[in-house]
Amino acid sequence: MRFALLLYKYFPYGGLQRDFHRFARELQQRGHQCRVYYISWQGEPLADADMRRVPAFATSNHRRDERFLHWVQSDLAQDPVDGVIGFNKMPGLDVYYAADPCYLDKALSERGWFYRRGARYRHFAAWERAVFEPASDTRILLISETEQSKFEQRYHTQPERMHLLPPGVSPDRRAPPDAPERRRAMRQSLGLEAQELALLLVGSGFITKGLDRAIHAVANMRKAQPSVKVRLLVVGQDNERQFKRLSKRLGVAEGVTFLGGRDDVADLMLGADVLIHPARAEAAGVVLLEAVVAGLPVVVTDVCGYAHHVVAARAGIVLPAPFSQKQLDRAVMRNIDGVFRAECRRSALLYAEMTDIYSMHSTGADLMVNVIRQKLERADD
């Protein structure tokens, strides 16, 4: 079969983008043809795919989205496919992969009435409604039970249209037999001392991931435990300027290292001592599970969809809402204790052995194929 895959923006280090790539490869491995519609693309193109760049230029995101969809619909009318799979919310999809949280819920619970009178709100609410309202035929692949309940509450989406996927950690993220040697090599390359506590923050979108909170935790730890050396390693593709200013203002500029987007996150997790992820919002957070299977202790806020896996694995500390900087500071300082970190590591690695947190993309690809096949069979009847 021929599939059209729709994604506004691709770059190698985004969680949604990585899932997009793995779903596309899964479909290709089953013998299906993939046509990719996109506005911007960074990195290598998807091998063996029909890549179609959409010239959707506009001064606002909602105008850009409208031009993107209009162009794609015109192109599909001239060159049809069997099914349309979207990785951003928009009308006309056969399947939508729901990596983003419920926009309407956030707009109603976190924004005021003035925001909801704007064109931006009207656009994003309407396009989300086009996917989730009962009148829609779009099948939805979800990664978070929490977000599923929000969509059901706001739109009364039929349960049979929603499919909750298992997590999709790549098995190559698991701690390898030579983990100790790779840990030493990574720490040496980063200039980390043997007793230096290395905190790792991974994710593009530094404000959403809570980088400012992590920087404050480093500064507060320096004050409370001046004898302990601590370094924050920041991995991700985003604007660093305001966070470098914050680090300098708090007197910890030399203790915060920005590494940019990296392809060796698995080795960085082996070299670090703690994954710190004090996110403000996170539909899932596969980086949490990547840390678990690597045996890296985690400190995370409970707003993250996969935080419950950290609890189940006893792999670290989950901070309850509402967020408290003091709680984050205490959680980070708890990890000074090497015995505590070793217990987290042992529990995490056992959980990685016993739990299916790997099959998202194969399961999701099966669902995509079945949904499109059923649509074609109904059309033939």
Architecture per CATH, 172-354: 3-Layer(aba) Sandwich (3.40)
Locate 30 and state its tokens. Answer: 């089953």
Locate 339 and state its tokens. Answer: 């015995």
Q: What are phi and psi of 176, to 5 degrees?
A: -85, 170
Asked if the peptide bond before residue 322 counts as cis, ω within 30 degrees of 0, the response is: yes
**pLDDT tens track for 97-139:** 999 999 999 999 989 999 999 999 999 999 999 999 999 999 9
Q: Return all residues near 275 (Cβ < 8 A) that are at least 6 apart.
A: 199, 200, 201, 202, 269, 287, 288, 291, 296, 297, 298, 299, 300, 316
**pTM (two decimals):** 0.88
User: Among residues 313, 279, 273, 327, which one has the least CA distance to residue 297?
Assistant: 273
Dist. CA 291–CA 15, nearest whole Å: 14
14 pLDDT band (50/70/90 cuts)?
confident
Residue type for position 243:
F
**pLDDT tens track for 135-178:** 999 999 999 998 999 999 999 999 999 999 999 999 989 999 99
Specify the CATH superfamily of domain 2-166+359-380: Glycogen Phosphorylase B; (3.40.50.2000)
Task: Please give the distance of CA 71 from its chain centroid, rounded to a whole number.
Answer: 28
3-class secondary structure, 275: strand
Burial classification of residue 377, based on how many CB atoms lie within 10 Å of its CB (0-12 exposed, 13-18 middle, 19 or more buried): exposed
**pLDDT tens track for 60-73:** 999 999 999 999 99
CB-based contact 321:377 (threshold 8 Å): no
**pLDDT tens track for 263-297:** 999 999 999 999 999 999 898 999 999 999 999 99
For the chain, give every residue range classified as CATH 3.40.50.2000.
2-166+359-380, 172-354
3-class secondary structure, 68: helix
User: Among residues 272, 251, 276, 259, which one has the least CA distance to residue 333?
Assistant: 276
